[in-house]
């Protein structure tokens, strides 16, 4: 077995450079197939990335000339010198950036595209479920190695990805969102159809719960089914109806506190869909540790959130997509208030987008920890990465990146293993062709800039010949 070493001097000498074409993947073939779970992938390879420029969202800097070794699905070492063997695959990342895998904190993978079969508008629960692996694969291809599902995804999907049945992001889910009668999510919970935000044309993303007893039962039920957090419909929605206004705050104090008490006792947090200061304050004062959307956030409410360490997960691209239908229409806002029923839903979405951009600045100024979200339903999920470009209009690039890396990891309680390129952390990595700390819009164009997506040490997606995908299934 030959042993090689790499140092900055050696790696600048062309004769010592190696590529995937000249080295072996090593151990995979020697590991017996797990006959009980024959879909399990072989152990991940050992990779050594030389000449890597490591993106550090914490320090908001890039560190060039690094040698990053990953093995057994984790970052083994980051140094300027490393020993290796023929079993390691060496990839020269000269001129490229090694970025932590991205985390989208507000998705609905169950809100699948495609409509219903047989001429229907909504896919049934089974059709929706069968499409979810495809949706997950697309999110992974956009560079999202983890996602937080804010209503609809089930534990079987999460576990199937974890078990290698098909590729997808790490999934952190809340089960179904809790929605009181008549609220945002109510129609979805009853009819399998509803508004585009936190509801969808697919199987229900929400469950109705009225009164303390039902809220307690529903909270426990989501936790029983593997929820990593609890989602409550804390106000009306973007697609307003007369009874579903963004300014409404639905749950009573007793209901909200009951959910918080049950969740906290099980070590999970409550987050609330809420748009207005009134609804946000109601949620925060009754135990919520997260706010979804928060488009009309004002200074005093932002200061309350910062003081209590409450996370904000905006989802601006959902409003842009609702405004343009994905077609790029940029007409000016027509709706002046969130509850303006005289305007069209497109005008209301435009109003929500403009308000949401302002709320980002308000939150950032107050010191609120901002997380990345998209909240897109159905075919609009194709616009998922555009959220980065919208945020880049009002936030610096480091803040944009932290929202999808370190802040997201902390909200998920995963700050010791996700969100950074760091020794001992999961090898969830992106190889980028440009620096996302110089221009956050790099993250908005994965097809152009994201050369490879590594999750748990495997090259799951590649757009670069020097780093081919290595998720190879074995015959059974
Ligand atoms: Zn929502
Ligand atoms: Zn949502």
Q: What is the per-residue pLDDT across 251-292, written as a single tens digit (0 to 9) for each?
A: 999 999 999 999 999 999 999 999 999 999 999 999 999 999
Q: How far apart are CA 325 and CA 198, in angstroms?
A: 17
pLDDT at 335: 39
Q: What is the 273 CA–ligand 2 centroid distance (Å)?
A: 8
Q: Is the pLDDT of residue 158 over 50?
A: yes
Q: What is the 274 CA–ligand 1 centroid distance (Å)?
A: 7
Q: Which ligand is nearest the CA of 105, by number?
A: 2
Q: Is the pLDDT of residue 207 over 80?
A: yes
Q: Which of the four pLDDT bands, split at 50, 70 and 90, describes residue 4?
A: low
Q: How far apart are CA 448 and CA 428, in angstroms?
A: 19
Q: Which ligand is nearest the CA of 376, by number?
A: 2
Which residues sit opposite 149 in a β-bridge?
A: 107, 173
Q: What is the mean pLDDT of residues 193-198?
A: 44
Q: What is the 277 CA–ligand 2 centroid distance (Å)?
A: 18
Q: Which of the four pLDDT bands, split at 50, 70 and 90, describes residue 341?
A: low
Q: Which ligand is nearest the CA of 198, by number?
A: 2
Poorest-confidence range of 30-39, 311-320, 363-372? 30-39
pLDDT digits (tens, 9 = 90+) for 436-468: 999 999 999 999 999 999 999 999 999 999 999
Cα Dmax for the chain = 75
φ/ψ of residue 262, rounded to 5: -65, -45
pLDDT digits (tens, 9 = 90+) for 84-120: 777 899 999 999 999 999 999 999 999 999 876 544 4
Q: Which ligand is nearest the CA of 234, by number?
A: 1
Q: What is the 186 CA–ligand 1 centroid distance (Å)?
A: 12
pLDDT digits (tens, 9 = 90+) for 373-425: 999 988 999 999 999 999 999 999 999 999 999 999 999 999 999 999 999 99
pLDDT at 57: 98
User: Of the candidates 93, 106, 100, which has an alpha carbon nearest to the alpha carbon of residue 58?
Assistant: 100
- Tell me how crowded residue 243 is: count the other CB atoms within 10 A of its CB: 13
Q: How far apart are CA 179 and CA 202, in angstroms?
A: 17
Q: Which ligand is nearest the CA of 205, by number?
A: 2
CB under 8 Å to 275, separation ≥6 — which residues? 235, 236, 238, 246, 247, 293, 294, 295, 296, 338, 352
pLDDT digits (tens, 9 = 90+) for 134-143: 999 999 999 9
CA atoms within 13 A on the CB side of 91: 27
Q: What is the 389 CA–ligand 1 centroid distance (Å)?
A: 21
The pocket of ion ligand 1, defined by CB under 5 A, consists of 197-198, 273
Radius of gyration of the chain (CA): 23
Q: Which ligand is nearest the CA of 183, by number?
A: 1
Q: What is the 133 CA–ligand 2 centroid distance (Å)?
A: 19
Q: Which ligand is nearest the CA of 238, by number?
A: 1
Q: Is the pLDDT of residue 324 over 80?
A: no
Q: What is the 212 CA–ligand 2 centroid distance (Å)?
A: 23
Q: What is the 115 CA–ligand 2 centroid distance (Å)?
A: 18
Q: What is the 375 CA–ligand 1 centroid distance (Å)?
A: 7
pLDDT at 337: 55
Q: What is the 185 CA–ligand 1 centroid distance (Å)?
A: 9
Find tokens 């670069």 and name the residue.
464
pLDDT at 8: 47
Q: What is the 237 CA–ligand 1 centroid distance (Å)?
A: 6
pTM of the model: 0.89
Q: How far apart are CA 104 and CA 385, in angstroms?
A: 9
Q: How far apart are CA 318 and CA 71, in angstroms?
A: 38
């Amino acid at each position: 077995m030959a042993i090689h070493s790499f140092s900055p001097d050696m790696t600048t000498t062309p004769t010592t450079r190696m590529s995937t074409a000249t080295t072996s993947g090593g151990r995979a073939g020697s590991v017996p197939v797990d006959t009980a779970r024959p879909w399990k992938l072989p152990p991940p390879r050992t990779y050594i990335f030389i000449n890597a420029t490591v993106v550090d969202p914490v320090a908001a800097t890039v560190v060039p000339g690094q040698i990053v070794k990953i093995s057994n699905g984790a970052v083994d070492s980051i140094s300027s010198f490393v020993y290796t063997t023929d079993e390691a695959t060496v990839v020269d990342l000269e001129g490229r950036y090694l970025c932590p895998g991205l985390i989208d904190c507000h998705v609905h993978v169950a809100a699948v595209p495609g409509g219903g079969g047989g001429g229907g508008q909504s896919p049934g629960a089974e059709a929706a479920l069968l499409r979810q692996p495809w949706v997950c694969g697309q999110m992974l291809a956009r560079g999202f190695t983890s996602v937080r599902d804010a209503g609809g995804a089930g534990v079987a999907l999460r576990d199937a990805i974890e078990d290698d049945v098909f590729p997808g992001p790490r999934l952190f889910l809340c089960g179904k969102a809790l929605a009181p009668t008549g609220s945002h999510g109510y129609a979805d919970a009853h009819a399998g159809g509803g508004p585009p935000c936190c509801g969808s044309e697919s199987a229900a993303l929400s469950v109705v719960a009225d009164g303390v007893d039902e809220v307690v039962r529903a909270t426990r039920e989501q936790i029983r089914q593997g929820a990593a957090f609890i989602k409550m419909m804390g106000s009306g929605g973007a697609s307003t109806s007369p009874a579903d206004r963004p300014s409404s705050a639905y749950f009573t104090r007793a209901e909200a506190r009951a959910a918080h008490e049950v969740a906290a006792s099980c070590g999970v947090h409550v987050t609330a869909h809420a748009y207005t200061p009134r609804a946000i304050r109601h949620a925060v004062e009754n135990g919520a540790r997260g706010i979804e959307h928060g488009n009309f956030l004002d200074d005093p409410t932002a200061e309350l959130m910062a003081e209590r360490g409450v996370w904000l997960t905006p989802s601006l691209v959902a409003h842009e997509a609702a405004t343009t239908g994905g077609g790029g229409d940029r007409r000016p806002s027509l709706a002046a208030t969130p509850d303006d029923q005289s305007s069209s839903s497109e005008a209301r979405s435009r109003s929500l987008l403009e308000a949401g951009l302002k709320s980002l600045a308000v939150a950032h100024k107050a010191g609120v920890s901002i997380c990345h979200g998209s909240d897109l339903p159905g075919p609009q999920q194709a616009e998922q990465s555009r959220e980065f470009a919208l945020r880049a209009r009002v936030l610096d690039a480091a803040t944009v990146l932290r929202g999808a890396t370190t802040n997201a990891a902390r909200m998920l309680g995963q700050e010791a293993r996700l969100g950074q390129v760091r020794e001992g952390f999961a090898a969830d990595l992106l190889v980028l062709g440009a620096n996302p700390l110089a221009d956050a819009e790099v993250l908005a164009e994965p097809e152009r800039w994201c050369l490879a997506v590594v999750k748990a040490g495997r090259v799951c997606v590649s757009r670069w010949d020097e780093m081919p995908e290595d998720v190879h299934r074995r015959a059974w």
